[in-house]
Amino acid sequence: MVGVDPPSPSSVPATVGDIFPLLLMLAGIVIAVIIVGALLKRWWRRPDEQPVGFSLSDLREMHAAGDLTDVEFRSARDAMVSSLKRQMKASSKDTTK
């Protein structure tokens, strides 16, 4: 067998020991991309503004705890109801156009 060249590295089949580090690197890259994608998605969906004010249940609790007088509670409740009515009227005008 004189004159026979040894097989080139490209023709030698890879062993598990040769492929395993590459598979680990690929799995790490895939996991990193998934994590970055999830973080970006969460950041993208974050609301720009936080709701301001109280809910009606908050007002009721404050009134029950004595933090609001009857007059203050009725005034705040009426203001909240009128604001909601205006918003509903505006949104109904938008949907009818």
Question: What pLDDT shows up at residue 93?
Answer: 73
Say how far apart CA 29 and CA 23 lie, in whole Å. Answer: 10
Token digits for 63? Answer: 């009134």
Give the pLDDT confidence of 72-96 residue by residue, as tens digits: 999 999 998 888 888 888 877 766 6
Q: Which region holds residue 3: left if phi is over 0, alpha if psi is between -120 and 50, else beta?
A: left
Global pTM exceeds 0.85: no
Helix (H, G, I), strand (E, B) or coil at 29: helix
Find the distance separating the first CA and the last CA of the chain, reported in whole Å.
Answer: 89
